[in-house]
Structure 1
C-alpha cells in the first residue's frame, strides 16, 4: 500500500516538475541501500559477531560503500537547494534516510574504530553559494544524478567529475545510479528556471 502511495505521489509531483520524479527515484533507492544494511546487521543475533563482521576487511569496505551512498543523499539535499525544490515528498524521503542512517550508526557504535571511519556531519553539509533569489544554475554545470554544482571544502570539484554524453557526473553518483537504479545514466534537460534556459 505504501509503495502504491509513493508511486501515486511521484506521478503527481512529476507533473509539476520533471526533476521531482528523478530525485524521488534516487532518494528511494538510497533509503533501500541503507535500510538493507540495517536489516543485515539487525539479523546478527550476537553483538560480538556483529563486531567481527564490521571489523573484517569486507565489512569495512561495505560500510564505506554505504557511506558513499548516504553522501549522495546529502548532495541531493544540496542540489534541491540549488534548484529551489522544496517539496514535502522529497523532505519526507530525506527524513526517512536520516532515520535509517541514525539507526545504522547505532549498530556501528558496537565497533568504535568503524564508527570513527565516518566523517563529521559538517563535512557532509553541501552548501550552495548564493541566495534563494539568485537564478538557478545551469544543469550543464551540475551532476546529472544529484543535481549539485557546488561542493564542500575538500569535496570533488568539477575537475574530478566525469563527462559522459555532454553531461557531468560525480563518479560515486554515476556508480550508484548504474548499480542501483538504471543501466543508463540519466539525462535531464535544463530546468525551466535555469539561468541559461532557452525554450525551443
Structure 2
C-alpha cells in the first residue's frame, strides 16, 4: 500500500532532516582526517583507542543512513530530494573509506555494503506500512541483523531502535519524532478496535 501524499511529505521531511545531519557527521570526519597532513600521524591517530572508537561511531552513523534507506524502500517512499541526500552521504562515505586505506587493518573491520542492505530479502508482514509499529526514526520494524537482541524502546506509545533514538536526540532534535499513520492502515484499525473492545 502506498503512503498517502500528505503523509509522504511529512515522512520525507522527517527523513531528510535526519539524513542531512548524518551527512554532516561524515563530512566532519572527512575534514578531521584531511586536516592531518602526514599519513604516519593519521595512521597513529586512527589506530589509537580513541581513534578506533571515533571510527566506530562514524560507522554506526553511516549504518543509520542505510537503515533509513531500507525503511524508505520498505514503505515505498521515493523522492528526488531524499535520493540526492543519500547520494551525498555515499560520496562522503567513500571519501572516508579512502582516508582509512592508510590503515588496511582498520579498513577491513568496516561492514560490507551487502551487510548494510536492510531492505534486501526481507519478509515483511501485511502491517509493514504501519508507521505506529516501526521505528520512528529509520522506519524499519524488523530486528536489526547485527543486533538481534536489541530491544525496541517504547516512548509515548511509539517504538525506536536505541541507536536510532540516540542519534536523533543528540544530532537532530531533543524530541523524538512522532509520525502519524495513514487513514486506511489495517493494523491501526485493528489496534483501535482492540482498545475499544470493538469486534470487526
2:154 matches 1:174: no
Residue 61 of structure 2, aligned match among 61, 69, 72: 69
Which residue number in structure 2 is paired with residue 121 of structure 1?
A: 113
The one of 30, 33, 38 aligned to 1:46: 38
* Gap runs ≥5 in structure 1: 1-12
Match of 2:50 among 58, 64, 67: 58
Alignment of 1:10-29 (within 5 A): 17-29=9-21
Partner of 1:98: 90
TM value normalised by structure 2: 0.83
What is the CA distance between 1:63 and its match in structure 2?
A: 0.6
> Which 4+ runs in 1 deviate beyond 4 A?
13-16
Query: How far apart, CA to CA, are the structure 2 residues paired with 1:142 and 1:122?
Result: 22
Measure the CA separation in 2 of the matches of 1:44 and 1:193. 54
Q: How many angstroms apart in 2 are the aligned matches of 1:65 and 1:52?
A: 18
Q: Which sections of structure 2, spanning at least 5 residues, go unmatched? A: 190-200
Distance in 1 of aligned mates of 2:179 and 2:31: 33
* Aligned-residue offset at 1:115: 0.9
Describe the superposition over 1:20-73 as per-residue Cα deviations: whole angstroms up to 9, x where unpaired.
Answer: 100000110000000100011011100111101101111100110111110110
For the residue of structure 1 that corresponds to 2:37, the secondary structure is: coil
Q: CA deviation at 1:165?
A: 1.1
- Aligned-CA RMSD value: 2.3
Using the TM superposition, name which of 45-54 and 187-196 deviates more: 187-196
